[in-house]
C-alpha cells in the first residue's frame, strides 16, 4: 500500500508513520507537512533513511502542493494535518478555519478525482461536552471551541463527499492522546517539562474538567485498523476509558516527579472550557481493537521519555514558544 499521510511531522502523525513502517513491511509512506510551529522533522529523524519513507514540505490548503502529493499515486490518504490547540483557536481562529476546513476540502477534491480511500483524523471534541454517559458515533455534533467547530466542519464535508460523490472515506474520533513527541503546549508535556525546568504548572480553574487519556501508540493501532477495516461512510470513536480530572492528572504527574502541591499554580479558566469528553467505543472494539496501556504505566513512561529527551523539547521551549508562554502564563 502507498499511504499519503498529511501532518506527519506532528505528534500523532509521526507516531502513526513509525507504527506503519514497523508493522507493514510492504507499505510506503509520503508525508506532506507544512512544518508549522507544531511540525518538527526531529519527530521522524529515526525513519528518514528508510527507503519506504519520503517527505514533501507543503500546505494542504494549496492546490498545487496537494496535486503534487497525489501525483505520487497513493492508495490511501490519511489527514492528520490541522491546527490543534484549543487555546490558540480561542485567540486566533482563522488558521483553524483555513487548515482544518479548507485544507480538508482540498484533499477531498483530489480524493474525488482520483478515487482513493480517505481517512479523516477527527476528535471527540466535535461532540461537545457531556456531564454523564458517553457519546456514540450517532450523537449530534455540538462543538464549543473554534478548534472543535472547524474539526466538525471537516467531518461534515467528509460525510457529504461520501453521500454526494460516493468517495470511500472513514472518520476516526479519538480522545486526548499523550506520549512521546507531543508539543509542550498541551497539558501533559507542558506540566512535565515545566517541572523538569523547576517551574510551576498552570492549572485552569479548579482542575475539575475531565479528559479521557489515550496512549498515542494505542490510538495509532486503532487508527491503522479503521484505515484498513473501517466501513466507508462510517465514523469510529477511539477512547481509552481512563477518565481523570485535571487535578487528578496533575497530582499523578507531581507524584511521579517527586513534587508537591506547591508546584500547582491555579490560573484563570479557559473560555468556554468543556467540562468532560467521553466516547463510547463498542464500534471500534467490534473491529478487534482495545487499548493496551493503562494510565499509570503510560504516564510513567511518558514522564521518563521527556526526562530522557531534553534535547528534543528544550529547543522548542526556548524558541518561539518562550514568547507564547510568557504572554499566556507570565512568570509561572
Backbone angles phi and psi of 27, in degrees to 5: -85, 150
Site string for ligand NAD, 85-114 (x = CB under 6 A): --------------x---x-----------
Cell numbers 517527505 correspond to 55
The answer to the question of residue 89 lying near ligand TYD (CB under 6 A) is no
CB of 249 to ligand NAD, least distance (A): 13
Site string for ligand TYD, 273-312 (x = CB under 6 A): ----------------------------------------
Whether 168 is a known active-site residue: answer no
The answer to the question of residue 203 lying near ligand TYD (CB under 6 A) is yes
Could you tell me the CA-to-CA distances from 39 to 82, 177, 213 in Å, in that order? 10, 17, 22
**Among the listed residues 79, 174, 176, 237, the single contact to ligand TYD using CB under 6 A:** 176
Burial (CB count <10 Å: 0-12, 13-18, 19+), residue 138: exposed
The answer to the question of residue 121 lying near ligand NAD (CB under 6 A) is yes
Is the Cβ of residue 23 or residue 62 nearer to ligand NAD in the bound state?
Answer: 62
Whether 124 is a known active-site residue: answer yes
The answer to the question of residue 211 lying near ligand TYD (CB under 6 A) is yes
Task: For residues 221 and 16, give the distance between their C-alpha atoms in angstroms, rounded to a whole number.
Answer: 8
Could you tell me the CA-to-CA distances from 188 to 5, 43, 85, 191 in Å, in that order? 25, 17, 13, 5
Task: For residues 108 and 115, give the distance between their C-alpha atoms in angstroms, rounded to a whole number.
Answer: 10
The answer to the question of residue 274 lying near ligand NAD (CB under 6 A) is no
Query: Out of ligand NAD, ligand TYD, none, which partner does residue 203 contact, by CB within 5 to 8 A per kind?
Result: ligand TYD
Task: For residues 161 and 169, give the distance between their C-alpha atoms in angstroms, rounded to a whole number.
Answer: 9
The answer to the question of residue 204 lying near ligand TYD (CB under 6 A) is yes
Max CA pair span of the chain? 58
Which region among 2-10, 86-94, 267-275, 309-317 touches ligand NAD (by CB under 6 A)? 2-10
Whether 181 is a known active-site residue: answer no
The answer to the question of residue 190 lying near ligand TYD (CB under 6 A) is yes
Return the bridge partners of 32, or none: 6, 56
**SS3 label, residue 299:** helix
Task: For residues 249 and 178, give the distance between their C-alpha atoms in angstroms, rounded to a whole number.
Answer: 12
Site string for ligand NAD, 161-200 (x = CB under 6 A): -------------x-xx-----x-----------------
Kindly tell me the number of DSSP H helices and DSSP E strands found in the chain. Answer: 13, 13
**Among the listed residues 1, 24, 27, 36, the single contact to ligand NAD using CB under 6 A:** 36
Which region among 16-24, 63-71, 199-207, 220-228 touches ligand TYD (by CB under 6 A)? 199-207
**SS3 label, residue 256:** helix
Could you tell me the CA-to-CA distances from 279 to 37, 50, 174, 188, 303 in Å, in that order? 30, 36, 8, 21, 26
The answer to the question of residue 86 lying near ligand TYD (CB under 6 A) is yes
* Tally of CB atoms within 10 A around 131: 8
The answer to the question of residue 10 lying near ligand NAD (CB under 6 A) is yes
Per CB under 6 A, residues contacting ligand NAD are: 6-7, 9-13, 33-36, 38-39, 59-61, 80-84, 99, 103, 121, 123, 151, 174, 176-177, 183
Per CB under 6 A, residues contacting ligand TYD are: 86, 176, 186-187, 190, 202-204, 209, 211, 246, 270
Amino acid at each position: 500500500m502507498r499511504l499519503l499521510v498529511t501532518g506527519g511531522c506532528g505528534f500523532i502523525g509521526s507516531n502513526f508513520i513509525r507504527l506503519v513502517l514497523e508493522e507493514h513491511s510492504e507499505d510506503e509512506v509520503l508525508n506532506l507537512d507544512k512544518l508549522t510551529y507544531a511540525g518538527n522533522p526531529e519527530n521522524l529523524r529515526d525513519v528518514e533513511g528508510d527507503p519506504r519513507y519520503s517527505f514533501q514540505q507543503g500546505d494542504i490548503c494549496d492546490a498545487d502542493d496537494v496535486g503534487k502529493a497525489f501525483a505520487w499515486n497513493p492508495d490511501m490518504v490519511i489527514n492528520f494535518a490541522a491546527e490543534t490547540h484549543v487555546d490558540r483557536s480561542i485567540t486566533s481562529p482563522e488558521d483553524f478555519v483555513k487548515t482544518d476546513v479548507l485544507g480538508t476540502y482540498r484533499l477531498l477534491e483530489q480524493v474525488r478525482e482520483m478515487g482513493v480511500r480517505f481517512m479523516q483524523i477527527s476528535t471527540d471534541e466535535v461532540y461537545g461536552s457531556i456531564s454523564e454517559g458517553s457519546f456514540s458515533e450517532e450523537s449530534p455534533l455540538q462543538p464549543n471551541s473554534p478548534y472543535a467547530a472547524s474539526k466538525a466542519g471537516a467531518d461534515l464535508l467528509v460525510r457529504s463527499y461520501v453521500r454526494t460523490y460516493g468517495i470511500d472515506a472513514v472518520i476516526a474520533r479519538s480522545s486526548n492522546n499523550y506520549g512521546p513527541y507531543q508539543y509542550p503546549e498541551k497539558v501533559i508535556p507542558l506540566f512535565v517539562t515545566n517541572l523538569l525546568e523547576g517551574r510551576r504548572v498552570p492549572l485552569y480553574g479548579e482542575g475539575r474538567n475531565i479528559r479521557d487519556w489515550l496512549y498515542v501508540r494505542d490510538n495509532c493501532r486503532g487508527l491503522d485498523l479503521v484505515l484498513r477495516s473501517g466501513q466507508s461512510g462510517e465514523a469510529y470513536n477511539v477512547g481509552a476509558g481512563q477518565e481523570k480530572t485535571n487535578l487528578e492528572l496533575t497530582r499523578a504527574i507531581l507524584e511521579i516527579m517527586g513534587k508537591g502541591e506547591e508546584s500547582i499554580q491555579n490560573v484563570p479558566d479557559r473560555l468556554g472550557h468543556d467540562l468532560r469528553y467521553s466516547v463510547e467505543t463498542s464500534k471500534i472494539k467490534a473491529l478487534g481493537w482495545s487499548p493496551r496501556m493503562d494510565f499509570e504505566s503510560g504516564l510513567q513512561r511518558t514522564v521518563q521519555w521527556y526526562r530522557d529527551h531534553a534535547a528534543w523539547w528544550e529547543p522548542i521551549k526556548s524558541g518561539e514558544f518562550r514568547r507564547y508562554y510568557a504572554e499566556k502564563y507570565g512568570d509561572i
